[in-house]
Structure 1
Amino acid sequence: MKFSASAAAAIIISLVFIASSSSDAKADLRLCNKTESQVGVAIGYREKADWVTEGWWNLPANSCETLVPGRLVSRYYYIYAVDYDQFGEWGGRAYMCTREKEFTIQGIEDCVARGYERTGFFEIDTGEQSSWTVQLTEPVQEGTGGR
Protein backbone atom coordinates (compact mmCIF):
# COMPACT_ATOMS: atom_id res chain seq x y z
CA MET A 1 0.00 0.00 0.00
CA LYS A 2 1.40 3.39 -1.02
CA PHE A 3 -0.36 6.61 -0.16
CA SER A 4 -0.28 9.24 -2.90
CA ALA A 5 0.70 12.82 -2.21
CA SER A 6 -2.87 13.97 -2.83
CA ALA A 7 -4.30 11.30 -0.55
CA ALA A 8 -1.70 12.20 2.04
CA ALA A 9 -2.70 15.85 1.84
CA ALA A 10 -6.44 15.23 1.81
CA ILE A 11 -6.97 12.15 3.96
CA ILE A 12 -3.97 10.76 5.76
CA ILE A 13 -2.37 13.73 7.42
CA SER A 14 -4.09 15.97 9.88
CA LEU A 15 -2.21 19.11 10.77
CA VAL A 16 -3.07 20.56 14.11
CA PHE A 17 -1.81 23.82 15.56
CA ILE A 18 -1.47 23.52 19.30
CA ALA A 19 -2.65 26.79 20.76
CA SER A 20 -1.62 27.74 24.22
CA SER A 21 -2.86 30.36 26.60
CA SER A 22 0.29 30.26 28.71
CA SER A 23 3.39 32.21 27.72
CA ASP A 24 5.66 29.53 29.19
CA ALA A 25 4.02 26.64 27.35
CA LYS A 26 6.37 24.25 25.60
CA ALA A 27 6.85 24.93 21.88
CA ASP A 28 7.86 22.02 19.63
CA LEU A 29 7.28 20.30 16.32
CA ARG A 30 5.62 17.05 17.33
CA LEU A 31 4.42 14.10 15.30
CA CYS A 32 1.68 11.77 16.51
CA ASN A 33 1.26 8.30 15.07
CA LYS A 34 -2.50 7.75 15.25
CA THR A 35 -2.29 4.41 13.43
CA GLU A 36 -2.24 0.85 14.76
CA SER A 37 1.23 0.30 13.21
CA GLN A 38 4.79 1.18 14.12
CA VAL A 39 5.94 4.11 11.99
CA GLY A 40 9.42 5.39 11.06
CA VAL A 41 9.75 9.15 10.52
CA ALA A 42 12.35 11.37 8.84
CA ILE A 43 12.33 15.18 8.81
CA GLY A 44 13.84 17.82 6.53
CA TYR A 45 14.37 21.47 7.36
CA ARG A 46 16.41 24.54 6.47
CA GLU A 47 19.31 25.27 8.80
CA LYS A 48 20.98 28.60 8.03
CA ALA A 49 22.08 28.35 4.37
CA ASP A 50 21.69 24.58 3.91
CA TRP A 51 19.05 21.85 4.04
CA VAL A 52 19.30 19.07 6.61
CA THR A 53 17.49 15.73 6.77
CA GLU A 54 17.35 13.56 9.86
CA GLY A 55 15.90 10.16 10.69
CA TRP A 56 14.71 7.82 11.99
CA TRP A 57 12.28 8.29 14.83
CA ASN A 58 10.45 5.02 15.46
CA LEU A 59 6.99 5.63 16.87
CA PRO A 60 4.88 2.81 18.27
CA ALA A 61 1.16 2.74 17.44
CA ASN A 62 -0.84 5.58 18.99
CA SER A 63 2.12 7.56 20.30
CA CYS A 64 3.70 11.00 19.87
CA GLU A 65 7.31 12.19 19.58
CA THR A 66 8.97 15.60 19.55
CA LEU A 67 10.94 15.99 16.30
CA VAL A 68 12.13 19.57 16.82
CA PRO A 69 12.33 20.66 20.46
CA GLY A 70 11.77 24.28 21.39
CA ARG A 71 10.34 27.23 19.51
CA LEU A 72 10.10 26.64 15.75
CA VAL A 73 12.45 28.86 13.75
CA SER A 74 11.36 27.81 10.24
CA ARG A 75 7.99 28.14 8.58
CA TYR A 76 8.39 25.00 6.44
CA TYR A 77 9.32 21.50 7.58
CA TYR A 78 9.25 18.33 5.52
CA ILE A 79 8.18 14.86 6.68
CA TYR A 80 8.54 11.36 5.27
CA ALA A 81 7.09 8.40 7.16
CA VAL A 82 6.98 4.64 6.63
CA ASP A 83 4.40 2.24 8.05
CA TYR A 84 6.54 -0.74 9.09
CA ASP A 85 3.58 -3.08 9.64
CA GLN A 86 1.39 -2.29 6.60
CA PHE A 87 4.28 -1.32 4.29
CA GLY A 88 2.75 2.03 3.37
CA GLU A 89 4.37 5.45 3.35
CA TRP A 90 3.51 9.11 3.69
CA GLY A 91 5.51 11.14 1.19
CA GLY A 92 5.34 13.96 -1.30
CA ARG A 93 7.18 15.85 -4.02
CA ALA A 94 9.90 17.61 -2.02
CA TYR A 95 12.90 15.37 -2.69
CA MET A 96 15.57 15.08 -0.03
CA CYS A 97 18.26 12.58 0.99
CA THR A 98 17.70 9.65 3.36
CA ARG A 99 19.28 6.30 4.14
CA GLU A 100 18.09 3.11 5.80
CA LYS A 101 20.02 3.56 9.06
CA GLU A 102 19.94 6.51 11.46
CA PHE A 103 21.16 9.66 9.69
CA THR A 104 21.77 13.40 9.67
CA ILE A 105 22.53 14.54 6.13
CA GLN A 106 23.63 18.03 5.08
CA GLY A 107 22.28 19.11 1.68
CA ILE A 108 19.56 17.72 -0.57
CA GLU A 109 21.39 17.70 -3.90
CA ASP A 110 22.91 14.67 -5.66
CA CYS A 111 21.54 12.20 -3.11
CA VAL A 112 22.25 9.04 -5.12
CA ALA A 113 25.71 10.20 -6.23
CA ARG A 114 26.58 10.82 -2.57
CA GLY A 115 25.45 7.31 -1.57
CA TYR A 116 21.99 8.19 -0.21
CA GLU A 117 18.43 7.51 -1.32
CA ARG A 118 16.35 10.25 -2.97
CA THR A 119 13.06 10.35 -1.05
CA GLY A 120 9.90 12.42 -1.52
CA PHE A 121 8.81 14.33 1.60
CA PHE A 122 5.54 16.20 2.15
CA GLU A 123 5.60 19.86 3.19
CA ILE A 124 4.33 21.22 6.49
CA ASP A 125 3.55 24.95 6.49
CA THR A 126 3.48 25.99 10.14
CA GLY A 127 2.40 29.52 9.24
CA GLU A 128 5.31 30.71 11.40
CA GLN A 129 3.66 29.42 14.57
CA SER A 130 5.96 28.56 17.47
CA SER A 131 4.45 25.11 18.01
CA TRP A 132 2.93 22.54 15.64
CA THR A 133 1.71 18.94 15.73
CA VAL A 134 1.43 16.62 12.74
CA GLN A 135 -0.88 13.60 13.02
CA LEU A 136 -0.46 10.54 10.81
CA THR A 137 -3.78 8.70 10.56
CA GLU A 138 -5.08 5.60 8.84
CA PRO A 139 -6.26 6.22 5.28
CA VAL A 140 -9.98 6.15 4.60
CA GLN A 141 -10.74 2.96 2.68
CA GLU A 142 -12.30 3.79 -0.68
CA GLY A 143 -15.37 1.79 -1.72
CA THR A 144 -16.52 0.98 1.81
CA GLY A 145 -19.84 2.33 2.87
CA GLY A 146 -20.95 3.25 6.33
CA ARG A 147 -23.64 1.25 8.06
Structure 2
Amino acid sequence: MKQAITPATIGLGLFLASALPASADFRLCNNTASRTSISLAYTDGEIWVSEGWWNLKPGACETLVRGPLAAEFYYVYAMDERGGEWKGKAFMCTRDREFRILGREDCYVRGFDRTGFFEVDTGKEAKNWTVQLTDPAPQKPTP
Protein backbone atom coordinates (compact mmCIF):
# COMPACT_ATOMS: atom_id res chain seq x y z
CA MET A 1 0.00 0.00 0.00
CA LYS A 2 1.44 3.39 -0.96
CA GLN A 3 0.30 6.90 -0.20
CA ALA A 4 1.90 10.10 -1.50
CA ILE A 5 2.09 13.12 0.80
CA THR A 6 3.82 16.44 0.18
CA PRO A 7 4.31 18.70 3.19
CA ALA A 8 3.81 22.35 2.33
CA THR A 9 6.55 23.40 4.76
CA ILE A 10 9.69 23.61 2.61
CA GLY A 11 8.46 21.60 -0.32
CA LEU A 12 10.44 18.55 0.73
CA GLY A 13 8.84 15.39 -0.59
CA LEU A 14 7.54 12.57 1.55
CA PHE A 15 6.54 9.16 0.39
CA LEU A 16 4.88 6.63 2.66
CA ALA A 17 4.85 2.93 1.99
CA SER A 18 3.98 -0.03 4.07
CA ALA A 19 6.90 -2.30 4.97
CA LEU A 20 7.36 -5.86 3.84
CA PRO A 21 4.75 -8.18 5.39
CA ALA A 22 7.41 -10.30 7.11
CA SER A 23 8.28 -7.55 9.60
CA ALA A 24 6.06 -5.92 12.22
CA ASP A 25 7.59 -2.54 13.03
CA PHE A 26 7.34 1.20 12.43
CA ARG A 27 10.43 2.08 10.38
CA LEU A 28 11.81 5.23 8.80
CA CYS A 29 14.24 5.37 5.86
CA ASN A 30 16.32 8.40 4.95
CA ASN A 31 16.32 8.47 1.16
CA THR A 32 17.80 11.97 1.04
CA ALA A 33 21.32 13.18 0.29
CA SER A 34 21.83 14.50 3.88
CA ARG A 35 22.10 13.17 7.42
CA THR A 36 18.65 13.53 8.99
CA SER A 37 17.52 13.71 12.62
CA ILE A 38 14.15 12.09 13.41
CA SER A 39 11.70 12.34 16.30
CA LEU A 40 8.51 10.31 16.78
CA ALA A 41 5.31 10.82 18.78
CA TYR A 42 2.41 8.47 19.49
CA THR A 43 -0.28 7.73 22.06
CA ASP A 44 -1.53 4.57 23.73
CA GLY A 45 -4.98 6.18 23.92
CA GLU A 46 -4.25 7.84 27.26
CA ILE A 47 -0.66 9.12 27.37
CA TRP A 48 1.21 10.95 24.60
CA VAL A 49 4.90 10.13 24.20
CA SER A 50 7.41 12.00 22.05
CA GLU A 51 10.96 10.77 21.67
CA GLY A 52 14.09 11.40 19.65
CA TRP A 53 16.59 11.74 18.17
CA TRP A 54 17.47 9.06 15.67
CA ASN A 55 20.24 10.26 13.36
CA LEU A 56 20.17 8.57 9.97
CA LYS A 57 22.85 8.73 7.32
CA PRO A 58 21.70 9.03 3.70
CA GLY A 59 20.25 5.70 2.57
CA ALA A 60 19.90 4.35 6.12
CA CYS A 61 16.74 2.92 7.73
CA GLU A 62 15.91 2.63 11.43
CA THR A 63 13.20 0.81 13.36
CA LEU A 64 11.53 3.42 15.61
CA VAL A 65 8.88 1.12 17.15
CA ARG A 66 9.46 -2.63 17.38
CA GLY A 67 6.64 -5.14 17.05
CA PRO A 68 3.09 -4.91 15.70
CA LEU A 69 1.69 -1.38 15.56
CA ALA A 70 -0.55 -0.53 18.49
CA ALA A 71 -1.83 2.79 17.11
CA GLU A 72 -3.34 3.92 13.82
CA PHE A 73 -1.63 7.33 13.86
CA TYR A 74 2.03 8.13 14.44
CA TYR A 75 3.63 11.56 14.23
CA VAL A 76 7.06 12.39 12.81
CA TYR A 77 9.29 15.44 12.75
CA ALA A 78 12.57 15.38 10.83
CA MET A 79 15.27 17.89 9.97
CA ASP A 80 18.36 17.55 7.86
CA GLU A 81 21.81 19.09 8.22
CA ARG A 82 21.08 21.55 5.38
CA GLY A 83 18.15 23.19 7.19
CA GLY A 84 15.35 21.26 5.51
CA GLU A 85 12.56 19.87 7.63
CA TRP A 86 9.51 17.64 7.44
CA LYS A 87 6.88 18.98 9.82
CA GLY A 88 3.16 19.37 10.30
CA LYS A 89 0.44 20.81 12.49
CA ALA A 90 0.35 18.26 15.32
CA PHE A 91 2.35 19.94 18.08
CA MET A 92 4.42 17.84 20.48
CA CYS A 93 7.14 18.53 23.04
CA THR A 94 10.79 18.11 22.02
CA ARG A 95 14.24 19.27 23.06
CA ASP A 96 17.64 19.59 21.43
CA ARG A 97 19.27 16.56 23.03
CA GLU A 98 18.01 12.98 23.33
CA PHE A 99 14.55 12.86 24.90
CA ARG A 100 11.52 10.83 25.89
CA ILE A 101 8.72 13.15 27.01
CA LEU A 102 5.34 12.14 28.41
CA GLY A 103 2.44 14.44 27.50
CA ARG A 104 2.08 17.09 24.81
CA GLU A 105 0.66 19.94 26.88
CA ASP A 106 2.47 22.98 28.29
CA CYS A 107 5.74 22.24 26.49
CA TYR A 108 7.29 25.67 27.18
CA VAL A 109 6.19 25.72 30.82
CA ARG A 110 7.83 22.32 31.34
CA GLY A 111 11.09 23.52 29.77
CA PHE A 112 10.69 21.88 26.34
CA ASP A 113 10.34 23.14 22.79
CA ARG A 114 7.00 22.89 20.92
CA THR A 115 7.44 21.29 17.49
CA GLY A 116 4.98 20.58 14.67
CA PHE A 117 4.92 16.91 13.61
CA PHE A 118 3.27 15.48 10.49
CA GLU A 119 0.68 12.73 10.85
CA VAL A 120 1.21 9.23 9.49
CA ASP A 121 -2.05 7.29 9.09
CA THR A 122 -1.10 3.60 9.05
CA GLY A 123 -4.71 2.42 8.74
CA LYS A 124 -6.74 0.42 11.21
CA GLU A 125 -5.34 -3.00 10.28
CA ALA A 126 -1.63 -2.27 9.61
CA LYS A 127 0.86 -4.23 11.69
CA ASN A 128 3.94 -2.59 10.14
CA TRP A 129 4.76 0.62 8.28
CA THR A 130 7.75 2.35 6.71
CA VAL A 131 8.07 6.10 6.18
CA GLN A 132 10.54 7.11 3.47
CA LEU A 133 11.89 10.65 3.54
CA THR A 134 12.95 11.94 0.12
CA ASP A 135 14.53 15.10 -1.25
CA PRO A 136 12.18 17.50 -3.04
CA ALA A 137 11.64 17.13 -6.76
CA PRO A 138 13.52 19.81 -8.75
CA GLN A 139 11.37 22.89 -9.30
CA LYS A 140 10.77 24.00 -12.89
CA PRO A 141 11.58 27.66 -13.45
CA THR A 142 8.53 29.83 -14.07
CA PRO A 143 8.56 31.71 -17.40
Read off the aligned partner of 1:79 and give its amino acid letter: V
Task: After TM superposition, give the deviation of residue 143 of structure 1 in Å.
Answer: 2.3
Map Cα deviations across residues 102-123 of structure 1 (whole Å, 9 max, x no partner): 0000000010111000000000
Per the alignment, residue 18 of structure 2 pairs with: 17
List, as ranges, runs of 4+ consecutive aligned residues in structure 1 with deviation greater than 3 Å.
Answer: none
What is the CA–CA distance in structure 1 between the aligned matches of 2:77 and 2:20, rounded to whole Å? 25
Give the 3-state SS of the residue equivalent to 1:120 in structure 2. Answer: strand
Per the alignment, residue 116 of structure 1 pairs with: 112
Per the alignment, residue 37 of structure 1 pairs with: 34
What is the CA–CA distance in structure 2 between the aligned matches of 1:107 and 1:5, rounded to whole Å? 25
What is the CA–CA distance in structure 2 between the aligned matches of 1:18 and 1:7, rounded to whole Å? 26
Read off the aligned partner of 1:32 and give its amino acid letter: C
Per the alignment, residue 123 of structure 2 pairs with: 127
Task: After TM superposition, give the deviation of residue 46 of structure 1 in Å.
Answer: 0.1
Is 1:111–1:118's contact at 8 Å kept on the other side of the alignment?
A: yes
What is the CA–CA distance in structure 1 between the aligned matches of 2:15 and 2:137, rounded to whole Å? 13
Task: After TM superposition, give the deviation of residue 54 of structure 1 in Å.
Answer: 0.3
Per the alignment, residue 139 of structure 1 pairs with: 136
Task: After TM superposition, give the deviation of residue 17 of structure 1 in Å.
Answer: 1.2
TM norm structure 2: 0.88
Per the alignment, residue 3 of structure 2 pairs with: none
Q: Aligned Cα RMSD in Å?
A: 1.9
Read off the aligned partner of 1:59 and give its amino acid letter: L
Give the fraction of aligned pairs with identical amino acids, expressed as a percent: 48
- Structure number having the greater helix percentage: 1
Is 2:77–2:116's contact at 8 Å kept on the other side of the alignment?
A: yes
Per the alignment, residue 7 of structure 2 pairs with: 5
Is 2:72–2:121's contact at 8 Å kept on the other side of the alignment?
A: yes
2:98 is aligned, of 102, 107, 112, to: 102
Is 1:5–1:93's contact at 8 Å kept on the other side of the alignment?
A: no
Unpaired stretches in structure 1, ≥5 consecutive residues: none
1:58 is aligned, of 55, 58, 71, to: 55
Per the alignment, residue 49 of structure 1 pairs with: 46
Task: After TM superposition, give the deviation of residue 144 of structure 1 in Å.
Answer: 4.9
TM norm structure 1: 0.86
What is the CA–CA distance in structure 2 between the aligned matches of 1:34 and 1:144, rounded to whole Å? 25
